[in-house]
Structures are given as C-alpha cells and as structure tokens.
C-alpha cells in the first residue's frame, strides 16, 4: 500500500504505487524501470496474467541488459482485483488507443475504487495526437472526478512482446513527459500540486534508468513522432516490412529516396509536409516545432542501417511499428490517433492531406473487420462507435 494518505502529490521520499494497465512489451519495460526507481508496480493484465504470476517476465534489452523472471509487486486480471490492490498514486496506460472499440475512460474508470481517499494522476503512454481530451474531461474534471490530473507521454523505443511474457527491446528509449493541459509559466513557477506530482514521477522514472525528458509542451514531441510515422512508418505499412528491411543494403536505393520524398517541402501532395502544415495550423510555430523536425525524423532511423559501422543498435532487428504488427495479426489498430486525428484536424483547418487520406482509406476496411470481431468477443455492439474513425469520405 502507498505511504501517501491524502491527495497531496508524492514526494521524492515516498514509494509510489503505480497501476500499469496493459502489460505487453511497453508495460513490462516501464514496469521494470519504475520498479528500479523505487515504485511498487501493480500489473493489470488479462490474457497474460497467469503467465506473469507464475513465471514473471523476461526483459532482454540492449539498453538495460537481461533480467529474467522479474515480477511486479502484484498482478490483477479483473476490475475488482485492480481495485483491491489500490489505492494508487499513478495509473499508467500502455494499452492501444482504439476509440472505435472502447474509449480510454471506459477502460480506466472501473479499475479505481470509488471509495479511494487518494486521487491518482492518470498517465497516458500511448501513440498519436489529440487523445487526451476524452479521458481528461471524463476522469479529471469536477470535484467527484476519480483522478487529480493527467500526464501525457510520448515514447520513443522499439520493443516487441514474445510468448506473452518476454520483452525484447533495442537500445532506443526516451520518454517525453508533460502535463495536460499544457501548464502556463506561472503555474510552473508556483509549483501547483499537479506540477509536484509530475516532477515526482519524472524523478522515479529517471532513478530507474529511464530516459525521461521533462516536456513543458509534450504536444511538440507527439507531432515529431507523427512525422516519423508519416514517412518510415508509412512505408512499413504499405510494404508490410520491418524497419530494418527498409534499411538493408539491397533496399536502400529504393526506400530512402521514397522516405525523403515523403519529407520533401517542395512537393505539395506528400504526407510529411502536410503533417507540418496541420501542426502549424494547430498553433505550433517554428520556434517550438522547427522545420528541422522533419530531418530529425529521418535521422533517428537512417543511421541504424546494417551497413553503417557506427550504428548505435537502437533498433531491434525485427522491429515493426505497432500498427503494422496489429494489421498483420488482424487486431484493431491505433488508426484514429495515428492517422485519423491528423486528417480530422486538417479538415478543421482547411489543409488537404491526400497521402494520409490514402493510408487511412487503405487501412480502414481491415480496421472495421478487426473492431467488429473484437467487440463481438467482448460482448459489445458490433457496430463501430460513430464519429471515431476519422473524417468521412465526403470530406476528403
């Protein structure tokens, strides 16, 4: 149980209790790291709960080394078990954001006891843009809200789950950690309760060896990752290949020019440039999101090509973007936060995004089938949620 007995923010001397929802590759990696930093980690898992209880998890990481059989402080496989293991100081979400299947708030709320005397901070370590508003309004606003605030994170790493309990991780790992809504300078200076809790989480994660980056506006980092998904990720989706396959000597002369074209500021119909236009339209100017962010998105991956003797080994050999993994497995994809929300914002601000429209349209049939199947398995209405799939065809 956490030593904290009020709604005040946990300080450096407090051993925070953290519920991690979704104990796949990311949940294992962040759970282990936070535990090394002094946190008590409770894993909420469904399909792999018994495996974790029995054998623990294996972390095989180029950054952290090999750690076999690690177990969190507790494992919950039901909503009631998750409530019993509380109260929590933080609730960290690593599950995929698929609003067509189920909203973030509807997945999180049942795991927190309504009688808890502690209001935890909700932490989203999930892909995409414009994902925070729904859980913030449903879970963090009002006197009766179960959460005291929201931390939004953007993760840069390559990790894969094997056999339900083995996390294979490369050398790349950074986590931009920011508050939502973005705090004003005055609040940062005065150190509000949510600012203190934010800083305490960063301290625990850093103490565990994590690559924490304190982000006063984490939306900048989220857009930078969207740029990566628009070029390297987009080519992975269409080719159905790993990132390292795109970087092989036999493919470089074909793949790299296409990725660079996707980033070109001279072509009016290419997704990277259009993504920057959408980001600019939402209020992110060149002083906070410079044009060089497009080059950064290219250079975070290109030096990892096998033929480069100076490669850092930050990418696991078989790494695929999570959207491609889900597509190949017939599972619901994070299509809305990664592509659909960009297109929706583009419509709102009068920016055309033909290349992203093509990606969205080509993946949508597979998404509809996967969502219907998943909703049927959960006993839910097999219709997708209205308005959650991106802009309708008539708006393209």
Q: What is the pTM of this model?
A: 0.85
Instruction: Report the alpha-carbon distance of residue 345 to residue 130 in Å, rounded.
Output: 9
The pLDDT tens digits along the chain (396 residues) read: 343 333 444 444 479 999 999 999 999 999 999 999 999 999 999 889 999 999 999 999 999 999 999 999 999 999 999 999 999 999 999 999 999 999 999 999 999 998 888 999 999 999 999 999 999 999 999 989 999 999 999 999 888 899 999 999 988 899 999 999 988 888 888 888 999 999 999 999 999 999 999 999 999 999 988 888 877 887 888 888 999 999 999 999 999 887 776 655 323 334 556 778 788 888 888 888 887 887 788 888 888 888 999 888 777 777 888 889 899 999 999 999 988 998 899 888 888 877 778 888 888 999 999 999 999 988 887 765 544 555 544 443
* Residue at token pair 């507790």: 74
Q: Which residues are CB-contacts of 124 (< 8 A; sequence separation ≥ 6)? A: 93, 104, 131, 132, 135, 150, 151, 152, 153, 180
CATH topology of domain 221-395: 1.10.1040
What token pair was written down for 109? 């709320």
Distance of CA 288 to the CA centre of its chain: 21
Instruction: Report the alpha-carbon distance of residue 389 to residue 396 in Å, rounded.
Output: 13
**May I ask the CATH class of domain 17-217?**
alpha beta
* Helix, coil or strand: residue 181: coil
What token pair was written down for 165? 């309990």
What token pair was written down for 204? 């625990």
Q: Give the bridge partners for 40, in sequence order.
A: 17
Task: Write the DSSP assignment of 123-134 as a string of letters.
Answer: EEE--SSS-SHH
Task: Return the DSSP state at 213.
Answer: E
Residue 13 has phi, psi (to 5 degrees) of: -85, -10
Q: Where are the domains of the chain?
A: 17-217, 221-395
* Residue at token pair 């954001």: 97
């Amino acid at each position: 149980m956490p030593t904290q007995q009020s709604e005040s923010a946990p300080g450096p001397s407090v051993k925070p209790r953290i519920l991690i929802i979704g104990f796949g590759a990311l949940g294992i990696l962040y759970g282990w790291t936070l535990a090394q930093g002094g946190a008590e980690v409770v894993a909420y898992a469904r399909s792999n709960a018994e495996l974790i209880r029995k054998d623990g998890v294996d972390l095989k990481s180029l950054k952290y080394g090999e750690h076999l059989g690690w177990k969190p402080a507790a494992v919950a496989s039901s909503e009631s078990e998750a409530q019993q293991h509380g109260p929590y100081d933080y609730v960290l979400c690593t599950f995929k954001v698929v609003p067509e299947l189920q909203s973030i708030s509807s997945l999180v709320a049942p795991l927190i006891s309504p009688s808890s005397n502690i209001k935890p901070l909700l932490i989203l370590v999930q892909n995409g843009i414009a994902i925070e508003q729904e859980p913030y309004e449903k879970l963090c606003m009002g006197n009766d809200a179960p959460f005291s605030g929201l931390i939004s994170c953007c993760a840069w790493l390559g990790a894969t789950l094997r056999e339900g309990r083995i996390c294979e991780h490369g050398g790349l790992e950074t986590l931009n950690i920011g508050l939502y809504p973005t705090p004003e300078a005055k609040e940062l200076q005065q150190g509000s309760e949510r600012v203190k809790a934010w800083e305490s989480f960063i301290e625990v994660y850093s103490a565990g060896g994590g690559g924490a980056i304190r982000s006063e506006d984490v939306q900048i980092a989220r857009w930078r990752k969207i740029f990566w998904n628009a070029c390297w990720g987009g080519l992975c989706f269409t080719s159905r290949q790993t990132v390292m396959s795109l970087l092989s000597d036999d493919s470089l002369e074909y793949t790299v020019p296409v990725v660079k074209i996707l980033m070109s500021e001279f072509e009016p119909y290419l997704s990277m440039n259009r993504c920057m236009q959408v980001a600019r339209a939402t209020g992110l100017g060149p002083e906070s999101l410079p044009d060089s962010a497009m080059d950064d998105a290219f250079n975070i991956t290109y030096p990892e090509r096998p033929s480069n003797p100076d490669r850092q080994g930050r990418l696991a050999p078989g790494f695929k973007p999570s959207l491609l993994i889900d597509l190949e497995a017939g599972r619901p994809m994070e299509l809305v936060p990664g592509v659909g929300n960009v297109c929706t914002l583009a419509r709102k601000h009068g920016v055309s995004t033909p290349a992203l429209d093509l990606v969205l349209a080509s993946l949508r049939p597979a998404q509809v089938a996967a969502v219907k199947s998943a909703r049927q398995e959960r006993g839910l209405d097999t219709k997708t949620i209205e308005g959650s799939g991106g802009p309708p065809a008539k708006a393209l």
